[in-house]
């Protein structure tokens, strides 16, 4: 706690009432219910959108992945728009929460695009690589002209992004799309405080994992519930820290957002440098005074969230132009 930098007012307020949760003793169903129940106030303005729940079949066995399709209310009914697949974070174990629909609505309305909020299967009921393959199936589905035409978006203009675990999955999908020679390329990656390493001895992990939202025990809980075996920690598709430079060359442009008091901060910024070394177009921004999850956790909603979304929408508009 003594190593924390000066925090934003909403971060200070949340820290003062933050309960200590032992993830290893609370049933996963209780954790998920609590996680999903925290709503973002309706008083916080957002663009008007339509939301349609669909199910997307996986490439491997055809089982269905729920997804919410956000479309600007101002768009013409048959207007062809670009699209973004968004993968919500939650340590691979927890569902989307109150801030995720807000992010999807803001991006959809302000970029004038379709946003596909994908609800991939959670751990520990399934383990790596199930979520990766599901998310790849969603992206593959979105870049298929037959599917895109039914929902009036352009399969050649599809970006992908996510927060925390969802950002890690986004990186994995970008690499798989390259390896598998997917015809329609990913236009852009949006990575909010990505989880890159299974274990990291970075300064931010040492300074910000005690008494904070994302403790060392919580990180270990998510990790141990996600992987199938210890060897997964060395798998580059499971954890992007294992990717070689050759894997990174030719990836789509990237926007990375990190939080100053987030244990995952340093690994996101190290990854940004690795992308730059691989000659990938990358922009990396550190938001000062914020904690892990500041974009998606409703009590942490602040002006900083709006600034990050402004950067996101600007990057996507340029990518889609």
What are the residue boundaries of the structural domains of the chain, listed by start? 9-320
**If pLDDT is split at 50, 70 and 90, which confidence band does 17 have?**
confident
Q: In what order do the strands lie in the sheet with 153-163?
A: 49-57, 64-72, 114-118, 81-87, 153-163, 186-192, 254-261, 282-291
CATH architecture, domain 9-320: 3-Layer(aba) Sandwich (3.40)
From 100, 119, 292, 301, the catalytic residue:
292
Is residue 292 part of the annotated active site? The answer reads: yes
From 164, 174, 204, 284, the catalytic residue:
164
In the predicted structure, residue 1 carries a pLDDT above the cut 60 = no
Give the lowest-confidence range in 12-26, 80-94, 135-149, 252-266. Answer: 12-26
Please write the tens of the pLDDT for every residue from 281-314. Answer: 999 999 999 999 999 999 999 999 999 999 999 9
Give percent of the chain with pLDDT exceeding 90: 88
Inter-axis angle of helices 130-142 and 165-179, to 10 degrees? 60
In the predicted structure, residue 211 carries a pLDDT above the cut 80 = no
Is residue 164 part of the annotated active site? The answer reads: yes
Please provide the average confidence, as pLDDT, over all residues in the chain: 96
In the predicted structure, residue 2 carries a pLDDT above the cut 70 = no
From 262, 284, 296, 301, the catalytic residue:
262
In the predicted structure, residue 118 carries a pLDDT above the cut 60 = yes
Report d(CA 12, CA 290) in Å as an integer. 9
CB of 241 within 8 A of CB of 197?
yes
Is residue 2 part of the annotated active site? The answer reads: no
- Three-state SS string over 154-202 comes to EEEEEEEEEECHHHHHHHHHHHHHHHCCCCCCEEEEEEECCCCCCCCCC
């Amino acid at each position: 706690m003594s190593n924390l930098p000066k925090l934003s007012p909403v971060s200070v307020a949340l820290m003062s009432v933050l309960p200590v949760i032992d993830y290893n003793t609370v049933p996963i169903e209780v954790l998920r219910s609590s996680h999903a129940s925290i709503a973002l106030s309706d008083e916080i303005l957002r663009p008007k959108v339509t939301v349609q729940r669909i199910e997307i079949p996986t490439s491997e066995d055809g089982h269905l992945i729920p997804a919410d399709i956000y479309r600007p209310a101002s768009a013409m009914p048959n207007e062809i728009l670009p699209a973004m697949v968004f993968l919500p974070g939650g340590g691979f174990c927890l569902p989307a929460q109150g801030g995720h629909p807000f992010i999807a609505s803001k991006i959809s309305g302000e970029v004038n695009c379709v946003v596909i909020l994908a609800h991939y299967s959670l751990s520990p009921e399934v383990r790596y690589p199930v979520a990766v393959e599901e998310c790849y199936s969603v992206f593959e589905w979105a870049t298929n002209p037959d599917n895109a035409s039914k929902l009036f978006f352009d399969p050649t203009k599809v970006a992908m992004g996510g927060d925390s675990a969802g950002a890690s999955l986004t990186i994995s999908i970008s690499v798989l799309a390259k390896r598998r020679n997917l015809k329609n390329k990913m236009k852009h990656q949006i990575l909010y405080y990505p989880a890159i390493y299974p274990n990291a001895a970075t300064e931010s992990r040492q300074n910000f994992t005690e008494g904070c939202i994302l403790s060392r025990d919580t990180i270990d809980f998510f990790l141990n519930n996600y992987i199938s075996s210890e060897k997964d920690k060395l798998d580059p598709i499971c954890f992007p820290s294992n990717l070689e430079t050759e894997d990174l060359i030719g990836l789509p442009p990237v926007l990375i957002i990190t939080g100053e008091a987030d244990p995952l901060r340093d690994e996101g910024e190290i990854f940004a440098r690795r992308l730059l070394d691989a000659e990938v177009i990358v922009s990396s921004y550190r938001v000062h005074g914020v904690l892990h999850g500041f974009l998606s956790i409703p009590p942490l909603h602040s002006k900083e969230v709006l600034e990050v979304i402004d950067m996101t929408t600007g990057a996507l508009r340029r990518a889609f132009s």
